Amino acid sequence: MKPDFLARACLAAAAFSPAMQAGAAPVELTGPGMPAHIAQLSQGPGGTLCIVGQVPGAQGASRKRGLVILFDMAKNAVRWQRMVDAPGNDAQTAFVACHTDGRTVLVGADVEVHGRVVAHAWRFDENGDPAAPVPLVGTSGDAHVLAIDADAGGVTVAGMTRAASEGRQSSALFFARLDPALRGAAVDRLPTGAYLPGSAAKLAGNTLYLGGNFAPATATAQAVPDDYAVSKIVGGKYRFSLRPHTLPAADVASAISFDNDIVSLGHAGTTTTLAAVDANGRAKDRLQFRSTFCTTGSMGADAGTVYAVRWLCGNAREPAVLVAIDRKTGAELIVSGIVGEPVAVQLAGTQVVVVARKSNGSLLLQAVDKGQEPD
């Protein structure tokens, strides 16, 4: 089972955004003693980076707040940061996906009220001030956000729903389309099963790439999904759905590259399996190699290398490290120069952007050059 603070990789990156300053000092995102959970980093134009997650609420851990940060990579500084309470009393929220145009930030969130989860969308203006959140899907069960994207015509949120009735549970994907002001949500459903929260997801226009644990359309109420899969959905229809691993879904982590390869790392004992499926559903890389690392958390991938947060086999209490893995040979190298324990990774041009946790609990954002490659 992967630790619960792992980030999902989202590599919807602008191709030529400015890099962080060479040798720049790590920047503190959250202070000591605040157990923040980072869900996603997503790069925007002009060297911007939106970061979302969850922090304890004013009443403590029992009522969590959403965390959203807009970071300026060129200036190596936080433009603004907000910790946001859920709408309504007795509710808590998790910010799970974000998109930035370089000035404003859109956030997809899961708001929990009395044990029921409702997907929401938030918009933050260039000063970090939020508009009223918008609920997206009406359902008797739960609705979770997987990804969010925007274009000139409006905002799209993809997610999953789950409902239980008469000893059965049903799962479906949804696509909510709103205008630029987050009005007039129109929701389409794909009732043929759904990827569970925590899956890697990249939404680009009407195309959704996915990798993670897949729940069938219907199952008994007690069934626990354990089916790793990867898919591409265009205009609400599956282009492909493949199963590159036979391992338990909890033992596989995923990332989606800038080129839309769905890359995954699975482990069984000390054997790691790297698999990649390209944007057309073709197997691209597949290899196995021995490793001293087993569990994998946050990942990023480019054409030649996977950057992954990994834990030592048989000793998950030891701090995680960031490793670079050659996609063709499986050569694995620990990436040096990171302050703290890495918890989330994002690729940005020639750099690897890392969020790491210090021993006092604070989170730092820093960048290392991609030049640290396996031999």
pLDDT, one tens digit per residue, over 219-268 is 999 999 999 999 999 999 999 999 999 999 999 999 999 999 999 999 99
pLDDT recorded at residue 61 = 56
| Mean pLDDT value across residues 112-135 | 94
Q: Which comes out higher in pLDDT, residue 11 or 307? A: 307
Q: How confident is the model at residue 1 (pLDDT cuts 50, 70, 90)?
A: very low
Q: pTM value?
A: 0.92
Rounded Cα–Cα distance for residues 303 and 368 (Å): 18
Q: How confident is the model at residue 121 (pLDDT cuts 50, 70, 90)?
A: very high
| Mean pLDDT value across residues 334-338 | 94
pLDDT recorded at residue 60 = 56
Say which range, 2-6, 31-35, 101-105, 331-335, has the weakest mean pLDDT.
2-6
Helix (H) and strand (E) counts in the chain: 0, 30
* Three-state secondary-structure class, residue 251: helix
Q: Is the pLDDT of residue 15 over 50?
A: no
Residue 109: which of 146, 73, 164 has the closest Cα? 146
Q: Is the pLDDT of residue 307 over 80?
A: yes
Please calculate the CA angle 325-331-332 and round it to the nearest 5 degrees. 55
Classify domain 32-369 at the CATH topology level. Methylamine Dehydrogenase; Chain H (2.130.10)
Beta bridge partners of 202: 209
Q: Which comes out higher in pLDDT, residue 329 or 6? A: 329
Distance from the Cα of residue 19 to its chain's centroid: 21
CA distances from 331 to 11, 210, 306, 352 (A): 23, 26, 10, 18
Query: What pLDDT, in 10s, does the model give residues 46-80?
Result: 999 999 999 987 665 567 899 999 999 999 999 99
pLDDT recorded at residue 12 = 35
Q: Which helix (H) or strand (E) holds 72?
A: strand 60-72
Mean pLDDT of the chain: 90
pLDDT recorded at residue 66 = 96
Residue 20: which of 76, 69, 100 has the closest Cα? 76
**Lookup result for tokens 């001293």:** 292
The residues spanned by each domain of the chain are 32-369
